[in-house]
Amino acid sequence: MPLLHLAPNRLVSGEAISSTTALGAALWPLLILVALGPCLALTGRGRIAGFLALVTCAGAFALLLAALGSGAHDLLAGQPAAARARLAAGAWLTGFGLCFGMLQGARAIRIPAPGWLVAACIALVVVSLGASGLLDALSLTVELRGRRDGLIQAILDYLALTGGALVLASLVVAALGSWRRGRAVVDLLVSGLQVVPAVALLGGLVAAASALLAMLPALRGLGLSALGSGPALIGIAAYLLLPLWRGLQSALRAPDPAMLDAARAIGLTPRQIFVDLRLPLGAPILIGGLRVAAVQALGLATLAPLVGAGGLGRLVFDGMAQFAPDLIVLGAVPVVGLSLATESGLSTVEAALRRRWSS
């Protein structure tokens, strides 16, 4: 399986480069490390084996990237300026395998948050090699250099859109939660929204906003538009209502009715019942609902460019329109990283709350 592709420009897949040519003198040391690291991670027992697996896989990951960067530099020597050396499927699969080996090794050491340790190792390797210039010849680095400022702004827009949708959905759910008689109606509404395809919902919001602005042109003076962040924000928030609503209802039902009756019987006020009973039992459930909603929002926010909004999705769609795989990866990798970090962080908070209130 090839590790690199050499293409005359960024729009074509190019010629597959063999592992021997791509890695050069690093081939055999890398093969030894790639065989040894995952083997220790999968078959080793104890913390020493886990530590050796972590170090071996991290070293193999660093050597792989350095060798591919050096190989790409050699391949591009004498080529036109538009030529690109792109990571092939073999490089991605080997890298993912080594990351999995690092994770297994970190788990065997039994340290807290092994995923964060692996992420730190990967970031350290990539940043160190990137700062040294060893990765400059890779097509992905070329795309990053050309769009660095745009990428930072895209990440900020993406986070603002995701956070805004979460806040909006939370406010709506909090308001609906006070409507006790209408819970069945709310359940039907938020569940029904989930079956509507995201593209159809966004398109419907654009059409509805256009009709509203046609009826009330004065709204344009307030900065409202049928395209942009407004429809995207509302559309994403609509899909977040279900996990947040279910989390709220489950949190409210967490205390057993007998416990609530007993609390009232001994004279606890509603505030004391909330602080001492409902909050300890319901807070982990609320965080669980927020975790699901946050990860869902990060995924849905990539569709925002369909209605004229910004964010990382714009890089992904630009790459698809230009048949540029590295541009797609440049937009997709931060999305995956932010989703994993959000999932891991909120899961840690949820687990800590459960331990705190159950002790």
Task: Round to whole Å and give the CA distance between 351 and 348.
Answer: 5
Long-range contacts of 160-164, Cβ-Cβ distance < 8 Å, separation of 24 or more: 161/229, 161/232, 161/233, 161/236, 161/301, 161/304, 161/309, 161/310, 161/311, 162/236, 162/294, 162/297, 162/298, 162/301, 164/229, 164/233, 164/237
The continuous run of DSSP H or E covering 5 comes out as strand 4-7
Task: Round to whole Å and give the CA distance between 234 and 208.
Answer: 12
Residue type, position 143, single letter:
E
pLDDT tens digits along 281-331: 888 888 999 999 999 999 999 999 988 888 899 999 988 888 888 889 999
pTM score: 0.86
DSSP 214-238: HH-GGGGGGT--SSSHHHHHHHHHH
The continuous run of DSSP H or E covering 17 comes out as strand 15-17
- Beta strands at 4-7 and 84-87: parallel, antiparallel or unpaired: antiparallel
One digit per residue, pLDDT tens: the chain, 359 residues? 788 989 888 777 778 888 888 888 888 998 898 888 878 877 767 788 888 888 999 999 999 999 999 999 999 988 888 888 999 888 999 999 999 889 888 888 888 778 888 899 999 999 999 999 999 999 999 888 888 888 999 999 999 999 999 999 999 998 888 777 778 888 888 888 888 888 888 888 888 888 877 787 776 766 677 777 888 999 999 999 999 999 888 888 877 778 777 878 887 787 777 777 777 788 888 899 999 999 999 999 999 998 888 889 999 998 888 888 888 999 999 999 999 999 988 988 888 888 876 65
pLDDT tens digits along 223-244: 677 777 888 999 999 999 999 9
CB 165 within 8 A of CB 301: yes
For residue 148 the two structure tokens come to 């660095």
Task: Round to whole Å and give the CA distance between 215 and 226.
Answer: 13
Task: Round to whole Å and give the CA distance between 249 and 267.
Answer: 25
Radius of gyration of the chain (CA): 25
Task: Round to whole Å and give the CA distance between 113 and 134.
Answer: 30
| Spatial strand order in the sheet of 15-17 | 15-17, 4-7, 84-87
| Owner of token pair 């209605």 | 307
Task: Round to whole Å and give the CA distance between 136 and 152.
Answer: 19
CB 238 within 8 A of CB 193: yes
For residue 149 the two structure tokens come to 């400022």
